[in-house]
A and B are shown apart, each in its own frame.
Chain A
Amino acid sequence: MTSREKILSAVKTNQPELTTLPDVDFLLQEDVDISEKFIAALTAIGGQVIAVENHAGIKAFIAENFEQPSRKITTVSQLGDVAEYIGDNSANPHSLENVDYAIIEAGLAVAENGAIWVSEDKIRIRVLPFITQHLAVIVSQKDIVPTMHYAYNKIGSTDYGFATFIAGPSKTADIEQSLVLGAHGSRSMTIFLMS
């Protein structure tokens, strides 16, 4: 008998009588002021939110705040004139080793915890939002949902090879519970909140 057969047969013999899977849709509870809640949640976990009206607003902020010289990458075609544009997934992940700023676009954002959702088609190269020193994410106000239940409702059965929720800069408190931002992933997270 293979280990697979051994495990499956032991599990089958020992598992308890079948119980029903509970419904989780009752957890979808509408909420108000979700933009404010998203901003509060993200700020509390060390991120910053910049309100912008359009891509021109983002460019102005980049010009003013993202110091030179630095390597900037974007997966947003409208920002191709202020950062290196990556339009497909052909680049070697190791070539992103020296990226200072990455500007990407979120699929959705979650008010209760400040997380943004990106799948592979938004980041192109899986390692990009992690390897960059600083991460900036464009979020449309209309894409903010109240809770994780709404987020997964919206994600539904979308296909992706890789996708992730990102909530704030990378962090650790492993040394005596002192919070330090910038563990292995990005040191900062800026959200461009577009109305």
Chain B
Amino acid sequence: MSEIQNTTNHADLAEVFNNDEARVDWHDETLWWIRSKRDVAVNKINNWEELRETASQIKHNVLSNLSNYLQQFESNALSNGIIVHWAADAKEHNQIVLSILRKHSIGQMVKSKSMLTEECHLNDFLEENGINVIDSDLGERIVQLAKEMPSHIVLPCIHKKKEEIGELFHQHLGTPAGNADPQFLTETARQHLRDTFLTRRAALTGVNFAIAETGEFVVCTNEGNADMGAHLADVHIASMGIEKIIPERKHLGVFLRLLTRSATGQPITTYSSHFKRPNKGKEMHIIIVDNGRSIQLGREAFRNSLKCIRCGACMNTCPVYRRSGGHSYHNAISGPIGSILAPNLDMEKYADLPFASTLCGSCTNVCPVKIDIHQQLYKWRQVIVKNGYVPAAKTASMKIMDWTLSSPTAYHTAGKAGRMVLKYAPFMVNNKLNPWYKHRDMPEPPKESFGEWYKKNRK
């Protein structure tokens, strides 16, 4: 949203986040706590791995037959009385939303969580066109008041301390200064948004799953905000990416078991609502959006990223995400999954993201649909380098590394020099100019390399 976030890279933004070390530690621990809750929930399911494998295979089948499923979904939705729109890109999606609102002379809309509309920058577009939009998910409302983007797909304001939220509410909703009690602030939002739900004639929701077999779609929330908005409005607009399709209703059994256990460790969201037909006298619209997804589908190495069900488990477990914050990814979807989705949209702008990873593979291990996230990050690096989108400094150091690793003499000399420096002149590396020294100490150097040891001991 802000210019800074669009014009810089992950390392610089992470550095800003890292200025406040106490906050970084808190952010890190909070997300790890959620990851631990996930583990507890997952360990209660005896066939978890079979469930993941099944989900992954269902999604694979979806991708392999997507054109048919989309048409099947469309035709069933139409016969259910839902109006179906197709949007090739973000711009067209936003135009469709605007035209629906204009048709009904609606100037105010309430919205529940939809990462797709974040991806399309819908709010900004509608505001520019004189439409007032209120986000109704508490976390999204908070970042909206703060004029920020969500920093996490499931926990939009996980980067914010309650005192900051208290201050925002004080400024915008008139709560007493200094009150940062979560219970009190949530109650305030409940009252304030209840009035919004009751007075908006249009509501927009996301879509978690769209079922080809029946033409219905499912929206999951804990707060009940999607339902409050949709059932009280005259017009319900649901925005979905083409990859949200699942073949049959019974497959929801698989995905609803996986989604929240992976996300927060809950057994299921409070509400899993199935919308099949508009209410009498009301309108229900579905906007099916491509926005680069069909291109990703054609990239063999990266198409599995379209299996994502947006649980956020890869973010909660990621050592880089936890210590750099969601905003450092300067993309609507942050973390490991965002880093493999974003370069598809704009390889140059997001060239930094696949490098924002240690490739430890933890994301891949927790992914409920078994996306090979860390392998895709590694593959994106190669594609990005081949396309010439790598920062000059990285290219230079890679070239030196290449030369060092391909020459045994250079390799041994470099190793020796490194050990000497760490032993006799540690200040040469233990200083702020060395990025590897930030937030960690360099290790004790070994007295000799394995090569040297082997030479002495091989008799």
Contacts of B279 in A (CB 8 A): 89, 126, 161-162
**Interface: B71 (CB within 8 A):** yes
**Interface: B65 (CB within 8 A):** yes
How many Cβ-Cβ contacts under 8 Å join chain A to chain B?
248
**Interface: B456 (CB within 8 A):** no
Contacts of B34 in A (CB 8 A): 177
Contacts of B275 in A (CB 8 A): 162
A172 touches B47 (CB 8 A): no
A170 touches B270 (CB 8 A): yes
B256 touches A148 (CB 8 A): yes
Given that A10-B295, A27-B47, A174-B139 are known contacts, is A167 also in contact with B186, CB under 8 Å in the complex?
no
A113 touches B268 (CB 8 A): yes
- Closest Cβ–Cβ distance, residue A46 to chain B (whole Å): 9
**Interface: A61 (CB within 8 A):** no
Contacts of B247 in A (CB 8 A): 21
Of the listed residues A94, A152, A157, A162, the one surrounded by the most CB atoms of chain B closer than 10 A to its CB is A162
Contacts of A16 in B (CB 8 A): 60, 63-64, 297, 300, 303
Query: In the complex, what distance in Å separates the CA atom of A42 from the CA atom of B75?
Result: 38
* Interface size in chain B (residues, C-beta < 8 A): 88
**Interface: B161 (CB within 8 A):** yes
Of the listed residues A112, A148, A157, the one surrounded by the most CB atoms of chain B closer than 10 A to its CB is A148
Q: How does the 8 Å CB contact mask read for A143-187 relative to B, with 1 for contact and 0 for none?
A: 000011101110101011111111111111111111010111110
Contacts of A155 in B (CB 8 A): 249
Interface residues of B in 67-92 (CB under 8 A from A): 67, 70-71, 86-88, 92
Contacts of A130 in B (CB 8 A): 224, 227-228, 231, 271
- Closest Cβ–Cβ distance, residue B83 to chain A (whole Å): 13
Contacts of A148 in B (CB 8 A): 252-254, 256-257, 268
A186 touches B272 (CB 8 A): no
Query: In the complex, what distance in Å separates the CA atom of A8 from the CA atom of B165?
Result: 44
* Residue in B closest to A148 when the chains form the complex, CB atoms: B253
Q: How does the 8 Å CB contact mask read for B163-193 relative to A, with 1 for contact and 0 for none?
A: 0010000000000000000110111001001
Contacts of A68 in B (CB 8 A): none
* Residue in A closest to B224 when the chains form the complex, CB atoms: A185
A170 touches B224 (CB 8 A): yes
Q: Is the interface of A mostly helix, strand, loop or mixed?
A: loop
A18 touches B228 (CB 8 A): no
Query: In the complex, what distance in Å separates the CA atom of A186 from the CA atom of B278?
Result: 23
Contacts of B303 in A (CB 8 A): 14, 16
Contact of A185 among B57, B227, B232 (CB under 8 A): B227
* A-B pairs, 6 with minimum CB distance: A185-B224, A14-B298, A113-B267, A183-B223, A174-B139, A127-B231
Interface residues of B (CB under 8 A from A): 30, 33-34, 47, 50-51, 54, 57-58, 60-61, 63-67, 70-71, 86-88, 92, 136-139, 142, 155-158, 160-162, 165, 182-183, 185-187, 190, 193-194, 197-198, 214, 222-225, 227-228, 231-232, 242, 247, 249-254, 256-257, 264, 266-280, 288, 290, 294-295, 297-298, 300, 303
Q: Can you name 10 A-B pairs with beta carbons within 8 Å?
A: A11-B294, A14-B294, A16-B303, A27-B54, A115-B268, A162-B277, A170-B223, A172-B186, A184-B225, A186-B224
Interface residues of A (CB under 8 A from B): 2-4, 6-22, 24, 26-27, 29, 41, 44-45, 89, 93-94, 97, 110, 112-115, 126-127, 130-131, 147-149, 151-153, 155, 157, 159-178, 180, 182-186
Given contacts A3-B86, A16-B300, A174-B155, 9 further A-B pairs with CB under 8 A are A3-B92, A4-B86, A7-B242, A7-B290, A19-B61, A93-B232, A163-B273, A165-B273, A182-B187
